[in-house]
Structures are given as C-alpha cells and as structure tokens.
C-alpha cells in the first residue's frame, strides 16, 4: 500500500486529532494514522480528570499565574517558551472545545474550575462524571469526521520515518490487520504518539504507549530532552480489585472531596515529609510519591504495599452528589467508600521528557514536527495536574498549523529507495525463533519499575542498563514474524526495538543526573544541585547514544 499526503499525523490522541483539524482547516491534505482505532488509543481517551486552564471563569485568573505555577513545579528545568504557549493558548483551545460541544461541567453558567495540587487557585475544568478524556476524544473525533481534507486509518503501526537528504519525507508502517507493508509520502510529518509509561510494570497506560514516537524521532536525527523525568502518579489504585475503571480515578475524588491519605497504622503521614495535608489535597505528585514509598519502606504501608485513601468521613449523599453513577460502578466492585478505605500506590503515569521542539512544534529535522506528550520540556522536572491535556490540545493545534504552512508550494521528496531498510523490517522474516518476546517485555517492565522507578541509585541504574543491553542483544537486528494478519511476534519485536532504545535513554540520563530534582530522585544524591540546573539532551550519532547537558537559560535565550 502506498499513500500520498501533504501532512502525515502519526497518532490520533488529543494532540494528533487537533493537529489534523488545524492542518486541514489551513488547507492541507492530511493523513491521520494510528496503530489503534482512530481517537480511541493512547492516553487521551483514558484521562478521566481535569484540564488546567486559566479561564478565570469562576475565580479571577490569568495565564501568567498558570505559567508561574508550571515553572515552579518544573523545578528550574521548564522550557519557559513552551510552557508559556501551553498556558497562554490553553484558554482558546478549551473554549473552542466548548463550542464544539465537549460539555465542560458548569456552575451557574460558568465553566467549573476545580482546585488541584500545585495550582495557586481553582483552574481545572472537567467533564462529569470522570468523563473528561472520553468527552475530549469523542468531540475531536466528531470534528475530524466533519472536516474536509482528513483521511484516517487505524491499525497502522508506524515503524520508521523516511528521510531524504536529512529531511523527513514520510514513513513506513505495518498494517496490523493484513500484515501488509505501507509507505506514506508526506511533505510534513507530525509525531503525536504520546508517552512511554508502558515501559513500567505498574502503569496507567494503554498497550500502545511504549515510547514509539521518541524512538522514531531519535532515529530520524531529532534530539530528545529531559528523558530521565518519568512522572509517577502517587495514588494509583492498588487494592481491592477494581475492574473496568481507570487506576488513577481517585484523583477527581480528591479534588472534589479531599479524602484522607493514611499509612498502614491509619495515621496521616505526609507532614513527616514536609507537606501537611488536612484533607484539602495540596501535596504535589512527586512529594506524595516520595512520602508513600518511604512509609512502605519504613514498614508502615497498607497490606498490599501502599497507603490507604479514605473517604469514610464523607456521607453517602455527598459521594453520590459528587460522583453519581461512578458510585454504582464501585458498588459492582464491592467497594463502599463510606465503610472502607481503598489502597493506593505510585504508578507510572506521564513523561515530562520528549522530542525537542521550537514554538512552531518543528524539530531540528526539516519536515518533522511533534505534538502532545511526545514533546519534551514544557513541564520541566515535574508536571502539574491537568497540564497534559492542555499541552496535547495546544501543541497539536500549533503543529497542525505549522505543518500546513510548511507544505504550501512544497513538492513530495519521498523516494522509495529511502524506505528500503524500514520496509525490510516490516516484511522480513528472521526465520524460526524461540524468542519469547512477551517475557522480554515483562522483564523490561520489571527492570524499569524496580531499578529505574521513582527512587534510583547508581547500583540500580547500572543493573538496569545491563539488563536492557542483554535484552537488546537477544532481540537482534531482524524481526521474527509470519507475515500473517496481526503478526504478534513481529509487533512485539518492533515494540521492543523502540522500548529498549527509549528505556536505555531514560536509564542513561538518570545515571548521569547526579542529584534529585522533581520526578527524578536519586537516593545516593539527595537534594537539588545548582550545577544540575541543566537539561540533558540525547541524540543518536552513528548509532551511538550521546547525552549532552544544555543550560536551560541558554536554550530559552537561543529560541
């Protein structure tokens, strides 16, 4: 199969769909491709909570206050130019989504804005009940469907970008349903493939969040930044068993009702770690993660190795008013919050790092743009609640507009010969293999969780590097596969190829950063070190990974 388009958008989460809409509205022909179903894979559709945006709808606010909070949370590493875009243009996107009928919750006719940790005032919009991500995705899917100039295809796993004379000219993909190779010629390509949390054993991700976009961009010559900063969500559901619900669903409960975080001895404990909580949910994610893990290590964890989250002080009526039908879904899971606490523990949730982009969302590589969680830098060392969906929408819209501008008057530079190496991976059969790729993925996830998790040491990180290298050596250069529809051996191989490369970069960057900052905590180097107020970039040079430190201020000044 061969497709020709002006703009190729890889990934149809919030960023990809908004990019496709913006590019098509600016007159470009768009091909929107996703390895999952359009608008139903990745993180956006799973998000149930809030979108941070300085609307000032209920409390006076201004994007500069949102920016100040974002920069503070980023612990000195925030790319202020990107963060400013996020905060300044967020309101426009959120109001545009409102006009498109997303259904933001309202009070007295005003969009409701909830308080969330790290924000200086109520700033987070949402869709009731725990429906923010599904509503955002559905709205964007509807607009995509109505917008002329967008072709879309699910089941398209993009395997590599194609380059000619250093410029990205399209991509090679595997059509999962048929096993057929696909080449795509594009005058501009937007990577909107989301994050990498599937690399971790306990994660809030969908199966297709294994860091593909970082690997695609890196192999195409673009640098990555801040890759050591993986955000752990402190109160991911742990016990009792919860079926059919988002593992991070307790956050909205906390926004609305506070809730009490207790250790195994049923005592409040966060004040031991510098942030007293009085049921108002003010503790930031990195501090809460730290506090829970340290309580568990001190032998004061809950029975399954986390902390208790209790709403037992809330009346049944208050719970029902706040969460309506969700209370019935909890009851179906035998959870009655008026009578019992739940257990929660940190879970890999979001990635602050990503591809280096300028204010137009263009990368260093001509023809390659990036959007959403795939972009690095806007949140520095730690992301504020609600900033990720805003980031997806704002950066998606920008990337789409920039791509449309770029392709005007541009000719296709795609040459089939440039696609040969990637096509070989899609079609080649490495022959009989006893490689257990499923077990390899499990080993990688366990290694990342145990050795490259929220608390790191040189010994742990070095062990992780060895395991990652062993897995990469075992994987080899050519995939095993049978060329049949839904060729799982080939898909796992391709996933591991990306995941191992990205895991290696996270590990190397974490090894190098000899300090603790935001989401990167080194037990052997506690505390922030002024000399480390730098971003780390990663590049592939001649197949070798090269890490460099880039002064944050210099980067900002240079852009």
Q: At closest approach, how far in Å is the CB of 249 from ligand FAD?
A: 8
Burial 468-490 (b: 16+ CB within 10 A, else e): beebbeebeeebbbeeeeebebb
Among 373, 487, 492, 508, the residue binding ligand FAD under the rule CB under 6 A is 373
Beta strands (DSSP E) in 11-68 are 30-33, 50-52
Secondary element (H or E) of residue 439: helix 437-451
In the range 392-451, which residues lie near ligand FAD by CB under 6 A? 392
Rg (C-alpha) for the chain, rounded Å, is 22
Q: CA 335 → CA 305, 310, 417, 420, 532, distances in Å? A: 19, 12, 59, 55, 45
Active-site option among 35, 163, 254, 285: 285
Q: At closest approach, how far in Å is the CB of 526 from ligand FAD?
A: 28
User: Quick one: 281 or 525, whose CB is closer to ligand FAD?
Assistant: 281
Residue among 128, 472, 463, 75 nearest 286 (CA)? 75
User: Quick one: 352 or 404, whose CB is closer to ligand FAD?
Assistant: 352
Among 74, 170, 194, 264, the residue binding ligand FAD under the rule CB under 6 A is 194
In the range 300-339, which residues lie near ligand FAD by CB under 6 A? none
**Could you give the CA distance from residue 286 to residue 266 in angstroms, rounded to a whole number?**
22
- Residue 346 is a binding residue for ligand FAD (CB under 6 A): no
Catalytic, 285? Answer yes
User: Quick one: 365 or 547, whose CB is closer to ligand FAD?
Assistant: 365
User: Quick one: 22 or 511, whose CB is closer to ligand FAD?
Assistant: 22
Tell me the DSSP string of 504-525: HHHHHHHHH--S-BTTBEETTS
Q: At closest approach, how far in Å is the CB of 13 from ligand FAD?
A: 2
Burial of 101 (0-12, 13-18, 19+ CB in 10 A): exposed
User: Quick one: 39 or 341, whose CB is closer to ligand FAD?
Assistant: 39
Helices then strands, each counted (H, E), the chain:
15, 21
User: Quick one: 444 or 534, whose CB is closer to ligand FAD?
Assistant: 444
User: Quick one: 11 or 264, whose CB is closer to ligand FAD?
Assistant: 11
Determine phi and psi for 543, rounding to 5 degrees.
Answer: 80, -5
Q: CB under 6 A: which stretch of 109-117, 189-197, 316-324, 453-461 binds ligand FAD?
A: 189-197
In the range 107-166, which residues lie near ligand FAD by CB under 6 A? 132-133, 156-158
Q: At closest approach, how far in Å is the CB of 276 from ligand FAD?
A: 25
Q: CA 224 → CA 172, 227, 480, 495, 517, distances in Å? A: 21, 7, 29, 19, 19
- Residue 350 is a binding residue for ligand FAD (CB under 6 A): yes
Q: At closest approach, how far in Å is the CB of 10 from ligand FAD?
A: 5
- Residue 209 is a binding residue for ligand FAD (CB under 6 A): yes
Q: At closest approach, how far in Å is the CB of 320 from ligand FAD?
A: 22
Contact 392, 14 (CB under 8 A): yes
Contact 308, 162 (CB under 8 A): no
Q: At closest approach, how far in Å is the CB of 421 from ligand FAD?
A: 17
**493 Cβ contact list (under 8 Å, min separation 6):** 435, 437, 475, 479, 480, 481
Q: CA 447 → CA 87, 226, 407, 465, distances in Å? A: 36, 20, 43, 9
In the range 11-70, which residues lie near ligand FAD by CB under 6 A? 11-16, 33-36, 41-44, 46-47, 49-51
Catalytic residues: 285
Residues found near ligand FAD in the complex (CB under 6 A): 10-16, 33-36, 41-44, 46-47, 49-51, 132-133, 156-158, 192-194, 204-205, 208-209, 212, 246, 248, 350, 372-374, 386-389, 392
């Amino acid at each position: 199969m061969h497709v020709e388009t002006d703009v190729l958008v890889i990934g149809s989460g919030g960023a990809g769909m908004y990019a496709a809409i913006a590019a098509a509205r600016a007159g470009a022909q768009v091909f929107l491709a996703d390895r999952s179903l359009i608008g139903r894979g990745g993180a956006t559709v799973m998000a149930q909570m809030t979108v941070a945006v300085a609307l000032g709808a209920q409390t006076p606010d201004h994007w500069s206050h949102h920016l100040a909070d974002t920069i503070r949370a980023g612990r000195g590493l925030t790319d202020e130019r990107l963060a400013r875009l996020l905060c300044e243009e967020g309101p426009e996107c959120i109001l545009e989504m409102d006009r498109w009928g997303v259904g933001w919750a309202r009070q007295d006719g005003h969009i409701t804005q909830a308080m969330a940790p790290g924000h200086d005032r109520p700033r987070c919009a949402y869709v009731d009940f725990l429906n923010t991500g599904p509503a955002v995705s559905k709205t964007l899917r509807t607009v995509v469907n109505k917008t002329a100039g967008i072709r879309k295809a699910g089941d398209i796993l993009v395997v590599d970008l194609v380059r000619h004379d250093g410029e990205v000219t399209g991509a090679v993909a595997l059509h999962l349903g048929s096993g057929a190779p696909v080449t795509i010629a594009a005058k501009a390509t937007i990577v909107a493939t989301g994050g990498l949390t599937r690399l971790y054993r306990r994660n809030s991700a969908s199966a297709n969040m294994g860091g593909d976009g970082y690997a695609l961009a890196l192999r195409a010559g673009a640098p990555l930044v801040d890759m050591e900063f993986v955000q752990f969500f402190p109160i991911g559901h742990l016990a009792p068993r919860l079926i059919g619900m988002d593992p991070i669903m307790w956050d909205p409960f906390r926004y609305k009702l506070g809730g009490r975080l207790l250790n195994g001895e049923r005592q409040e404990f966060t004040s031991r770690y510098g942030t007293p909580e009085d049921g108002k949910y003010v503790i930031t994610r990195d501090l809460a993660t730290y506090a829970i893990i340290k309580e568990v290590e001190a032998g004061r964890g809950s029975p399954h190795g986390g902390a208790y989250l209790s709403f037992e002080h809330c009346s049944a009526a208050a719970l029902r008013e706040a969460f309506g039908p969700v209370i019935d879904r909890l009851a179906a899971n035998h959870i009655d919050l008026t009578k019992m606490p739940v257990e929660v523990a940190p879970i890999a949730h979001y990635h602050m790092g990503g591809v280096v982009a300028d204010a137009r969302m263009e990368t260093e590589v001509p023809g390659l743009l990036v959007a959403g969680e795939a972009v690095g830098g806007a949140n520095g060392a730690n992301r504020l609640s609600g900033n990720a969906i805003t980031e997806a929408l704002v950066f998606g819209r920008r990337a789409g507009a920039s791509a449309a501008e770029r392709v005007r008057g541009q000719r296709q530079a795609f040459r089939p010969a440039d696609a040969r190496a990637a096509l070989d991976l899609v079609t080649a059969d490495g022959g009989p293999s006893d490689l257990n790729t499923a077990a390899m993925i499990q080993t990688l996830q366990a290694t990342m969780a145990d050795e490259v998790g929220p608390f790191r040491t040189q010994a742990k990180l070095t062990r992780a590097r060895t395991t990652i290298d062993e897995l990469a050596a075992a994987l080899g250069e050519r995939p095993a596969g049978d060329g049949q529809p839904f060729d799982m051996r080939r898909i796992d191989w391709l996933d591991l190829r990306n995941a191992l490369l990205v895991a290696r970069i996270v590990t190397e960057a974490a090894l190098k950063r000899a300090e603790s900052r935001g989401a990167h905590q080194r037990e052997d180097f506690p505390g922030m070190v002024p000399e480390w107020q730098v971003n780390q970039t990663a590049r592939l040079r001649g197949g070798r990974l090269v890490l460099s430190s880039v002064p944050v201020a210099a980067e900002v000044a240079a852009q």
